[in-house]
Chains A and B, each alone.
Chain A
Amino acid sequence: MMKLLDISKKYGEITHKYPFEPYKVAENFRGKPAYIYDLCIGCAACGVACPSNAITVQLNENKSKLIWEFDCGRCIFCGRCDEVCPTGAIKLSEEFELAVKFDKSAMIQRGELEVQCCSECGKPFSAKRLVKYSLECLSKANLGEKRLEEAKSYVNVCPTCKKTATVANFTAGKEMVIE
Chain B
Amino acid sequence: MKCDKFIEALGQRVKILEVTRQYEDQVTALVELNDLPEAVRFLYYDMGGYLSTMIPNDERSINKHYALYYALSMEGGKMFEGDEIAQDEKCFVTVKVLISPESLVFPSVTPLVPACVWYEREAYDMFGLIAEGLPDKRRLVLSDDWPDNLFPLRKDAMDYRYRPDMKEHYMEPEYDFLRPEGSGMIDVPLGPLHITADEPGHFRLYCDGDTIIDADYRLFYQHRGMEKLAENRMNYDQMGYLAERVCGICGYAHAIACIEAAEKAINLEIPARAQAIRIVCSEIERLHSHLLNIGLACEVTGNYNAFMHIFRIREYSMKLAELVTGGRKTYGNVVMGGLRRDMTGHEIKESLRILHIIETQVEEVWDAVMDDQRQMKRWKGVGILDKQVARDFSPVGPNIRGSGIKRDTRYDHPYDFFKQVKFDVAVVEGGDVFAREMVRYMELKSSVSIIRQCFELMPQTAIIVDPKFHVKPENYSLAYVEAPRGENVHWIMQGSAQKVYRWRCRAATYNNWPSLRFQFRGNTIADAALIVCSLDPCYSCTERVTVVDVRSKKSKILTHNDLKAFSQTLKNSPMKDLK
- Spell out A's residues near B (CB within 8 Å): 1, 3-8, 11, 14, 25-30, 49, 51-52, 76-80, 83, 92
- Selected from A4, A49, A79, the residue in CB contact (under 8 A) with B332 is A79
B367 contacts chain A at the CB level, 8 A cutoff? yes
Instruction: Evaluate whether A25 and B368 lie within 8 angstroms (CB atoms) in the complex, with A77-B332, A78-B332 already known.
Output: no
**Contact (Cβ within 8 A) B365 A78:** no
Task: Tell me the minimal C-beta distance from B376 to chain A in angstroms.
Answer: 12
Bound complex: CA A11 to CA B365 (Å): 12
Instruction: Given A3-B371, A7-B309, A83-B340, check contact A76 B241 (CB 8 Å).
Output: yes
What 6 additional pairs, Cβ within 8 angstroms, besides A5-B305, A27-B323? A3-B368, A4-B305, A51-B237, A77-B327, A77-B332, A79-B340
Most-contacted residue by chain A among B238, B241, B327 (CB, 10 A): B327
Q: A51-B238, A83-B340 are in contact. Are A4 and B326 (CB under 8 A)?
A: no
Contacts A4-B305, A7-B365: A76 and B330 contacting too (C-beta < 8 A)? yes
The reply to whether B241 and A78 contact each other, CB–CB distance below 8 Å, is yes
A30 and B241 contacting across the interface, CB-CB below 8 Å: no
The reply to whether B309 and A4 form a contact with Cβ atoms under 8 Å apart is yes
Q: Across the two chains, which residue of chain B brings its CB closest to A53?
A: B238
When each residue 293-309 of chain B gets 1 if its CB lies under 8 Å from chain A and 0 otherwise, what string results? 00000000000011001
| Residues on B facing A (Cβ under 8 Å) | 237-238, 241-242, 245, 305-306, 309, 312, 319, 322-323, 325-327, 330, 332, 340, 364-365, 367-369, 371-372
5 contacts between A and B (CB under 8 A): A3-B367, A4-B372, A7-B364, A78-B241, A78-B332
Chain B: which residue is nearest A30 at the CB level?
B326
Q: How far is the CB of B274 from chain A (nearest CB, A)?
A: 16
Bound-complex Cα distance A25 to B323 (A): 9
A8 proximity list for chain B (CB < 8 A): 305, 309
Tell me whether chain A's interface is mostly helix, strand or loop, or mixed.
Answer: loop
Q: How far apart are A53's CB and chain B's nearest CB, in angstroms?
A: 9
Contact B340 A14 (CB under 8 A): no
Q: For A76, what are the chain B residues with a Cβ–Cβ distance below 8 Å?
A: 241, 245, 330, 332
- Kindly state the separation between the CA atoms of A76 and B238 in the bound complex, as whole angstroms: 11
Given A78-B241, A79-B332, A29:B306 Cβ within 8 A: no
Q: A31 — nearest CB in chain B belongs to which residue?
A: B326
A80: which B residues are within 8 A, CB to CB?
237
Knowing A77-B332, A79-B326 are in contact, say whether A14-B312 is a contact too (CB < 8 A): yes
B229 to chain A, nearest CB (A): 12
Which of chain A's residues have a CB closer than 8 A to the CB of B241?
51-52, 76, 78
- Tell me which residues across on chain A come within 8 A of B305, comparing CB atoms: 1, 4-5, 8
- Set B245, B332, B369: member contacting A30, Cβ < 8 A: B332
Which residue from B312, B322, B326, B327 sits with its C-beta under 8 Å from A11?
A: B312
10 A-B pairs with the lowest CB-CB distances in the bound complex, closest first: A3-B368, A30-B326, A51-B238, A26-B322, A78-B332, A26-B323, A4-B368, A4-B305, A51-B241, A28-B326
A-chain residues with CB within 8 Å of residue B325 when the two chains form the complex: 30
Q: How far, in angstroms, from A4 to B303 measured CA to CA in the complex?
A: 11
Whether A29 pairs with B309 at a CB distance below 8 angstroms is: no
A62 vs chain B, min Cβ distance (A): 29
CB distance from B299 to the nearest CB of A (A): 14
**In the complex, what residues of A have CB within 8 A of residue B368's CB?**
3-4, 6-7
> How far, in angstroms, from A6 to B322 measured CA to CA in the complex?
30
**A30 to B322 alpha-carbon distance, docked (Å):** 9
A8 CA to B304 CA, complexed, in Å? 13
Measured CA separation A80–B238 after assembly (Å): 11
Partner of A77, one of B242, B306, B323, B330: B330
How far is B327's CA from A77's CA once the two chains are assembled, in angstroms? 9
Q: Give B285 Cβ to nearest chain A Cβ, in Å.
A: 16
Q: Give chain A residues whose Cβ lies under 8 Å from the Cβ of B245.
A: 76
- Min distance, Cβ A80 to any Cβ of chain B, angstroms: 8
Q: Taking A30-B326, A76-B241, A78-B241 as contacts, is the C-beta distance between A4 and B365 under 8 angstroms?
A: yes
- In the complex, A14→B319 CA distance in Å? 14
Closest to B234 in A: A51
